[in-house]
Amino acid sequence: MAQIAVLGGGGTGCYIAAELSLRGFSVALYEEKAYWHENIDGILEQGGVEMTGLGVNGFARIGEITDDLSRALEGCDLVIVSMVAWRHKKLAQAMKPLVREDMVIVFSAGNFGSILFKRIFGPGCGAVVGETCGNMFPCRMIGPGKAIAAGTYAPKLVAAFPGRDTPALMERFSKYFPCKPAQNVFEAALNAPNVVIHLAGSVLNTGAIERNPAFALYRDGLSQGVISCQKAVQAEKKRIMEAMGYQMVIHTEQMERLVQYDKYPEFDCFRSLAGPDGMRHRYVEEDATMGDSILLQLGRLLSIPTPTVWALIQVAGAINEEDYFSRGLKLETLGITGKTPEEINRYLFSGE
């Protein structure tokens, strides 16, 4: 039995599994067989993951790689979910009969997945479910069995749903990664850098992205104009965060540093991170339908204008011929019927 089950064989999931393995923990990495060609086949071919970049370095042999969800979850101390948001519902339904009362599940990143999971599991489920603020690592798989991190792990904001479970989440998660408590899942999810950075950066670089499969947003796509648009999103978010009583993390200062290439050469590894490789990338589809969608709805609920967020979702939909307003995650889907910050925050703490 593994100490930690990592669910998701994308770049972040594979990196987390390898990083924990290199640190001496027993890990089971789960992915559906249909997705093994993306990264898992290469790891099996190489016998593990060669860890490079600014994180831990070395060759990591992952204890178990499986497409059997029950086997991955058997007896584990911690479950880390690292899948794109549109896979969360199917995963929650598959996990429902396998969840134990003593289980702690953490999303990296969450995109409100903790609320969806708890609602699918049902009110009688005692498992603790929460999420981190953004992905745990800035990382990519850069070849068969080869991963790179553009930075070391920094203590993350975490929160559980309901928020009363956050201390239990922190107690378990901090055995493996340092963390800090967020007020609730909304404060954690809305503070992810994705909400401010990804959609604006991608939409404003559509032509370059579609012409260049090797496009790297932080190397090729940042300019003062792009950053100004990201700052406009940030300003709209700031008003909503203040109205909700949340602390806000500022992310555009890092974007300003990234465009000063000569002054900050230490960020070259981060600048080199690939993506998006097309306009159907998660930087567009996930953020337009998750974090930015919830931000837009909170703005409407609180009578706070969000014209930049609205415009980016509208243009992203026009580019991909999709109605992201209809497809976007709804407050009601998360069980939120309150009309005031106090009512919403009370629900996010109690789950009732």
pTM of the model: 0.97
Q: Are residues 18 and 112 in the same domain?
A: yes
Q: Are residues 134 and 210 in the same domain?
A: no
Q: Are residues 145 and 230 in the same domain?
A: no
Q: Are residues 119 and 226 in the same domain?
A: no
Count of structural domains within the chain: 2
Per the structure, the complete domain to which residue 262 belongs is given by 193-350
Give yes or no for a contact between 188 and 159, defined as CB atoms under 8 angstroms apart.
yes
Q: Are residues 102 and 156 in the same domain?
A: yes
138 φ, ψ (degrees, to nearest 5) = -80, 100
pLDDT at 110: 87
Question: Residue 80, Cβ neighbours under 10 Å: how many?
Answer: 27
Q: Are residues 277 and 343 in the same domain?
A: yes
Q: 160, 190, 220 — which closes off a domain?
A: 190
Q: Torsion over CA of 10, 11, 14 and 16, rounded to 10 degrees?
A: -120
pLDDT at 263: 95
Q: Are residues 165 and 227 in the same domain?
A: no
Q: Are residues 185 and 311 in the same domain?
A: no
Q: Are residues 244 and 227 in the same domain?
A: yes
DSSP states of 179-225:
EEE-SSHHHHHHTSHHHHHHHHHHHTTHHHHHH-TT-BHHHHS--HH
Beginning with the edge strand found earlier in the chain, give each strand of the sheet holding 27-30 in spatial order.
64-66, 27-30, 4-7, 78-81, 104-107, 128-132, 156-160, 179-181
Q: Along the 352 residues of the chain, how does pLDDT read in single tens digits?
A: 789 999 999 999 999 999 999 999 999 999 999 999 999 999 999 999 999 999 999 999 999 999 999 999 999 999 999 999 999 999 999 999 999 999 999 999 889 999 999 999 998 999 999 999 999 999 999 999 999 999 999 999 999 999 999 999 999 999 999 999 999 999 999 999 999 999 999 999 999 999 999 999 999 999 999 999 999 999 999 999 999 999 999 999 999 999 999 999 999 999 999 999 999 999 999 999 999 999 999 999 999 999 999 999 999 999 999 999 999 999 999 999 999 999 999 999 999 8
CATH of the domain at 79: 3.40.50.720
pLDDT at 103: 98
pLDDT at 238: 98
Q: Are residues 63 and 100 in the same domain?
A: yes
Find the DSSP H helices in the chain. 11-22, 40-46, 69-73, 88-95, 113-121, 166-173, 185-190, 193-203, 206-211, 217-220, 224-244, 252-258, 268-271, 282-289, 291-301, 307-320, 324-327, 341-350
Q: 190, 205, 234 — which closes off a domain?
A: 190
Question: Residue 103, Cβ neighbours under 10 Å: how many?
Answer: 21
Note the Cα 222 to chain centre separation in Å. 21
Q: Are residues 186 and 240 in the same domain?
A: no
CATH of the domain at 264: 1.10.1040.10
282-289 vs 307-320: helix crossing angle, rounded to 10: 130
Q: Are residues 182 and 266 in the same domain?
A: no
Q: 159, 190, 221 — which closes off a domain?
A: 190
Alpha-carbon span 167 to 181, nearest angstrom = 8
pLDDT at 2: 84
